[in-house]
Structure 1
Amino acid sequence: MAKIYKGRYTAQIEGEFVVFIIGMRINRLWAIHKWLPVFNSMGPMIKELYQNPDTGFLGTEFLVNWRGVTLLQYWRSYDELETYARGGLHLEAWKRFNKSIGSDGSVGIYHETYKAQTGSHESIYANMPKFGLAKVSDHVPASGRRATSRRRMGGENEPAVEVPENPRNKE
């Protein structure tokens, strides 16, 4: 079970990075022969990425819903993400998808890509294990300059509610 960090934390990362959301949606539940290969292609791609840190891949979270799965990924740069997408296991899976499913409507796929940089993002994790951006960057207490969303974005304001102190968490 993942360690819970009691209190409030945020992610701290310097420079540009990319948030990439990719997933699949099962549109025809009984078309298992269509959507299962798409689903099964995700694991080997993630394994390939974790085994090759030079790709620029920082990490991922799997989010499951009743019609599919979404992967929330973090990358060092857009160029590294695009390079990976045009090669390796991803390229082979993309070709298979286009050949076996194409536009028949049985399975949907999607992705969204966001470039972020210092001062253009913020996060909060209260009583959570390391998750998302905090799992792939520095996981730091959300206090002082990091106590509010606006402060984490570089602005000034006072907390709207009293901010509890973080208990000591043993790493």
Structure 2
Amino acid sequence: MGKQIFHGRYTTENDEDMVVFLIGMRINRRLAVHKWLPVFTAMPGMIKELYTHQEELGFLAMENYFGLRTTVMIQYWQSTEHLLNYARGQKHLAAWQAFNQKASATNAVGIYHETYVVPKGNYESIYGNMPLYGLGKARKHIPITKERITASKRLKAQK
């Protein structure tokens, strides 16, 4: 059984600040599996922790993408404080220290992250015939009404 499809057009509430966090890795030398695999396998434990303690950590939702060499995870957080507290937490700190010990001295694997602080009213979304996805998982998922029919109206709804 697949994910529930919400027929019609939907958007999300944008009445709260949020943080969008992109994190990923790039395999620079495919044959150096012993260098990049530990970086890749560190993430599932952290993802499990995020969903297990979602509310107390301030973690809202995420999406994953895998390419031939590069991965990216898009995460949604309640605040920068929540994100930074998690970054200093035991599971993430241990993974970061292991990376620094094993892989940072090699160019076989690269890592990156980007953080965007998005004030309320400064994001909008639209989903047509989609399951809960992205912001739709992170914020309240609501049907589009005439008051929110255009991107411009959705952006002004909370300003």
Structure 2 distance, partners of 1:63, 1:9, is 23
Residues 77, 83 of structure 2: 8 Å contact kept? yes
What is the deviation of 1:103?
A: 4.0
Structure 2 distance, partners of 1:6, 1:128, is 7
Query: Which of 115, 118, 124 matches 2:117?
Result: 115
Could you give the per-residue CA deviations for residues 7-62 of structure 1, whole angstroms, max 9, x where no partner exists? 21111142211111111111111111111111111100011111112111112111
1:73 aligns with 2:92: no
Question: What's the Cα RMSD here?
Answer: 1.3
Structure 2 distance, partners of 1:63, 1:145, is 33
Which residue number corresponds to residue 151 of structure 1? 153
Structure 2 distance, partners of 1:76, 1:100, is 32
What is the deviation of 1:88?
A: 2.0
The alignment covers a number of residue pairs equal to 155
Which residue number corresponds to residue 95 of structure 1? 97
What is the deviation of 1:118?
A: 1.8
Letter paired with 1:79: E
Query: Which of 59, 63, 70 matches 1:57?
Result: 59
Percent identity (aligned): 48
Letter paired with 2:41: N
Could you give the per-residue CA deviations for residues 122-168 of structure 1, whole angstroms, max 9, x where no partner exists? 1111111100111121111123121111111107xxxxxxxxxxxxx
Letter paired with 2:106: D
Spell out structure 1 runs of 4+ moving beyond 3 A. Answer: none
1:124 aligns with 2:126: yes
Structure 1 distance, partners of 2:44, 2:133, is 19
Residues 10, 142 of structure 2: 8 Å contact kept? yes
Residues 16, 121 of structure 2: 8 Å contact kept? no
1:5 aligns with 2:12: no
Letter paired with 2:3: A
Letter paired with 2:117: K
Letter paired with 1:36: L
Structure 2 distance, partners of 1:43, 1:24, is 14
Structure 1 distance, partners of 2:98, 2:20, is 25
Query: Which of 84, 87, 101 matches 1:85?
Result: 87
Structure with bigger helix share is: 2
Gaps of 5+ in 2: none
Answer with 1 or 2: which has the greater Rg.
1
Structure 2 distance, partners of 1:154, 1:131, is 22
